Each structure stands twice: as C-alpha cells, then as structure tokens.
Amino acid sequence: MSDLLTKLAKAIAKEKIKVIDLTQTLRPSTPVIQLPPPFAPSAPFSIEEISRYDDKGPAWYWNNLAMGEHTGTHFDAPIHWVTGKDYRDGATDTVPVQRFIAPAVVIDCSKEAKKDEKFLLTPKHILAWEKKHGTIPKGSWVLMRTDWSKREDPAKFLNMKEDGPHVPGPNADAVRLLVERDVNGWGVEAVGTDAGQAFSFEPAFPAHALMHGSNKFGLASLCNLDKLPPTGAVIVTAPLKIEHGSGSPLRVIALVHDED
Ligand code: MN
C-alpha cells in the first residue's frame, strides 16, 4: 500500500495528476450572503496588520483576521442547519476526516445559467447526466458548474433583485435525488448552496434543509469547475477545526488525472 502513495506523490510531482485550486481569494471585497431583516448578518472578511518588518515586529509580517464562518469559498457542516443540529459527527471538529477526501462529479449547467439567472437544476437534468456518465457514485461530491465564479463584480455575483437574489441552484426534488444517491455533499459556485429564490421552495432552502438533515455537506463559492472533468476528480475539503463550528472558509483542492 505504501507503493500506492509513493506512486501518487510521483504522479503529482510529474503533473500526471494535476492539482487544481477551486478556491476564491479571500479579501475585504469577498461577497457575503445577505439576509433580509430581522435576520442577523454575517461579518465580512477583514484583515488588520499586526506588524510588517517594522517597529511592531522588525523581522516578521502577520495579520489578524475576522470573518463569519460562511465567508468566501467555504464548507457547510451538517449542524449549520436546524435539520442537522443533532448529528454528533456533524460539526467542523467532529466530522470524520476521511470524508474530507472524496471523488467529485461535475454537472455542467453553464449554458443554462447563462440563459437564465434563476436556472434550477431538476432531477431531469441529473438523470440525463447519469445516462451519459453513469449513476452518481455513493460518497461523491456533486458540483454544479454555472461559471458564476466568473462574475468578478460582487454585486453581480450576489445578483440581488427586488424579489430576492437571482442565482441558479437545485430545486427540492434534485436535492432529494442526490440524498437518495447518498452523496458526500453538494457544491456550487454561488455564494450559497441554495438557489437565490430557495426561500420560497418547499421545503425552504432544500440544499441546506435536506442535505444537512441527511448529514451531508455543502461547498459554496467554488471556482475553476470548468477545469474539472465530469467524473474522475478527487477533491480535498478540510475545514478549520473550529470547536462546534458550523462551517469555515477552506482551500478546496482537486486532483485530476491527466490521461494524455
Ligand atoms: Mn454556508
């Protein structure tokens, strides 16, 4: 078995296995999900210099950080939602670490999302994908490619309108089907795992209510999903080990076997 890991390390060093960063850069302008009152807002990302090779620290540079757990590219743990609150292995510090390394399949919805900012992924789309690529394997991440991460203007990324955000996502039946497939979690390029209009769905916010209610994870604000194959990638998604944390920003890294 040690041979297997040696081969893996060599393949990475030789770029036979490509390492792809699915993470957005954290900065003060990083868009944060906006909730209507009376709900409490999440703090934006902020960074404050402690010292930078100066009187406060002549040989070292470092910063203090502040942010909500759900800022930038981030992980949603099952206890994030009331439906998952009782999972003892559902917090950032209690999730079995094995679940932080898992295969990922990518459903390309970029054309649909370009045409319709409120595009909803339905079971019909998932079944059509499965007809082409095979049944979604148990324990996989399912990532929805929309190219939403290419919206560099934070206002266009959040896309808030009078009737709430216009952002693509899954409908409730699509999430039910993914839960049936026993996936590891659901990941998107948008600011949250649910569609912009998901407050009006039944149940409301199904990618949270149903996924976390089944002890499954979420990933939001991913990028570079256009660089992944539909099947075959493995992603590493370890959140910070915050005691009883509901999620955390993280670096999401994909391993992709370069076949040629
Ligand atoms: Mn979140």
pLDDT over threshold 60, residue 104: yes
C-alpha to C-alpha distance for 120 and 122, rounded to whole angstroms: 6
Q: What is the mean pLDDT of residues 162-180?
A: 97
Ligand 1 centroid to Cα of residue 62, in Å, is: 27
The 10s digit of each residue's pLDDT in 46-73 is: 999 999 999 999 999 999 999 999 999 9
Mean pLDDT across 207-221: 98
Q: Is 80 an annotated catalytic residue?
A: yes
Ligand 1: centre distance to CA 13 (Å):
33
In angstroms, the CA 258 to CA 250 distance is 25
- 127-164 pLDDT, tens digit per residue, is 999 999 999 999 999 999 999 999 999 999 999 999 99
Amino acid symbol at 124 = K
- What is the three-class DSSP state of 125? helix
Q: SS3 of 10, please? A: helix
Among 80, 125, 208, 212, the active-site one is 80
pLDDT at 258: 83
- Long-range contact pairs involving 8-16 (C-beta distance under 8 Å, separation at least 24): 11/257, 12/255, 15/258, 16/257, 16/258
Mean pLDDT of 233-250: 98
Q: Residue 147 carries which DSSP code?
A: S
Confirm if 218 and 90 have CB atoms less than 8 A apart: no
pLDDT at 21 over 80: yes
- Examine the pLDDT at 201 and tell me if it is beyond 90: yes
Q: What percent of the chain has pLDDT over 70?
A: 99
- Measured CA to CA, the distance from residue 62 to residue 190 in angstroms comes to 30
Mean pLDDT of all residues in 176-189 = 98
Could you give the 3-state DSSP secondary structure of residue 116?
coil
Residue 220 Cα to ligand 1 midpoint, Å, equals 6
User: For all residues of the chain together, what is the average pLDDT?
Assistant: 97
Residue 1 pLDDT level (bands cut at 50, 70, 90): low
Q: Is 50 exposed, middle or buried (0-12, 13-18, 19+ CB in 10 A)?
A: exposed
Give residue 152's identity as a one-letter amino acid code. E
Please identify every residue whose CB atom is under 5 Å from ligand 1, which is an ion: 70, 76
pLDDT at 259: 77
The answer to whether the CB of 159 falls within 8 A of the CB of 121 is no
Distance between Cα 50 and ligand 1 center (Å):
28
Q: How many Å lie between the centroid of ligand 1 and the Cα of residue 140?
A: 19
Whether residue 260 is predicted with pLDDT greater than 70 in this model: the reply is no
**Ligand 1 centroid vs 138 CA: distance in angstroms?**
23
Distance of CA 260 to the CA centre of its chain: 29
Share of the chain above pLDDT 90, in %: 97
Nearest residue to 171 via CA among 121, 213, 129, 110: 121
pLDDT at 233 over 80: yes
